[in-house]
Structure 1
Amino acid sequence: MGRYVARRLLQMIPVFIGTTLLIFLMVYALPGDPVAGLFGDKGGSPQAVAALRHEYGLDKPILVQYVNYMKDMVFHLDFGTQIASGRPVTDILGEAFPVTLRLTALAFTIEIVLGLGLGILAGMKAGKLADTLVLIFTLLMISVPVFVLGFIFKTVFAFQLGWLDPNVNDSTNYGQLLMPAIVLAGLSLAYVARLTRSSVAENLRSDYIRTATAKGLPRRRVIGVHLMRNSLIPVVTYLGTDLGALMGGAVVTEGLFNIKGVGGTIFESIQRREGTTIVGLVTILVLIYLAASLLVDLLYAVLDPRIRYA
């Protein structure tokens, strides 16, 4: 196991370099100049613009900028400086990421609990009324865009019923984060439910389930141990990749509910062409994706004893 983990960590290095380089090149290929944008419509003198570009290292070749960025990040944990405010990007990360982490954690919990619960119910009742209702519900969740679902929730539960706040004023209040978390988790919840349903229904017809039942094992053990451990393998694969997707895909949700997290920061940075801020935020998301991928691979051995890493 140790050798496998070490090999995977080494494999992550070129993946990390490749993804960050691609992001860096794409961001700095965007039209516009963040330095010139500081001076507004009137614009600044060429000398002042050139001095600021030199100060932030924007006058150097793009690959030199990337190498300098990687050196500062790896050896000094320095993600650069935001041009518009002059603040270190690490400070912005420190403010934005805890907010998104709380929102993502709540959405991920809802996704797991409801997604697995509905999927198991539908799989155990395959072809019956409960299965049909779950499939219709998940199809609706998949079909409705996130921004439409967000407006529906705000209109019904905030403006008409008054059960929840329409906007998030306190990002540490999980009660205010509940509605945006449900909206954020809606699409992924539907996929988890349908994936779990298919896996459970298929494994129910497997020989090892019939054998376990024929041996007289309690139904709770047959389902809870034998059925679920094998059925969860494809679901865990999806959940591992979806964790990073929830954090990176919260731009619309955070905008709808006035949440000052990673999504909102990325959106504002794209508008201002703040390449340093965008690259710093996305770099953290890349690290989360890689860590989640490694964790999923290790969970395979826990769920299925037949899987062993030499």
Structure 2
Amino acid sequence: MLKHNRDLPKLTCGTTNATLRGPPGPGGCSLAIHGRCETEGPGPLISLGPFPARPDTRPSPPGHRPRGATSGTTETHQHQAGAAGPPGDNGRPGRGRKPNHPHLISSKSLADFLLSLHVPAETDVPVNPFRGVPLTDRDAVLVERLGDRERYPQAAALRAVWAQACAAKAWDGPAMMLHGDLHPGNILLADDGSLAGVIDFGDVGAGDPAVDLAVGWLMFEAGTRHRFMGAFGAAVEGDTWMRARGWALILSTAMLSNSDDNPRMFTVGKFGVRQILDDGLCLQL
């Protein structure tokens, strides 16, 4: 038994959890620990494995491109059990791109995961008051964040995106099962880019599935995001994607405004805001 979490190398740190590398050897695995990474005491260890032990495995920072990769290569993960990170290019097809490129695979497998997760919730599944609720319920907090002109010099453009998202048709279907905190730090990819696991269900609840679809802006650039959206087909209509982009703005600004002590999460938030601004008001469906 591991008595001290500090003995394990940290792979990534979220708001209320950390992912740690388990002991090396055939039984090596990644572990998740619940409890704030730096400010709270050790929490219970939850095994995510087993995954092959790789001492060199680390989450890829946004924009990271491994040695030997060309400008046409998108890298979103770092080998087994690596937490995903925003890509280094837009994922558009080009000469020399392999059809089974890891990032293209991950967008499809992530869409498949969400299609299987988003089913009508049982009546006893709670509603998270901060996730999956009507966007207008989150208006006050977003307006407050965008009031920080130094942090958000593009506030006017972001307010326009927010207004468009709030004007989209509200979710009128059944409350669906939601992950509630889907971003690159909570997504584990295998070597081939396929989905190895999703962690941190601390915000799980029932509501509007648009909140989970926001990962399209937190994880993918335009070309791959379009493929991700296309993988849902008629299961997700245009207004839901509009709301999803609104949720991407909520989540991105939460990371930017509250992660000065967590560079990885700050970078994910910065990436998300850039993707939202690059879309402009014309959302390609």
Could you tell me the TM-score, scaled by structure 2's length?
Answer: 0.25
Higher strand share: 2
The higher radius of gyration belongs to 1
Pick 1 or 2: higher relative contact order, CA cutoff 8 A, min separation 6: 1
Could you tell me the TM-score, scaled by structure 1's length?
Answer: 0.24
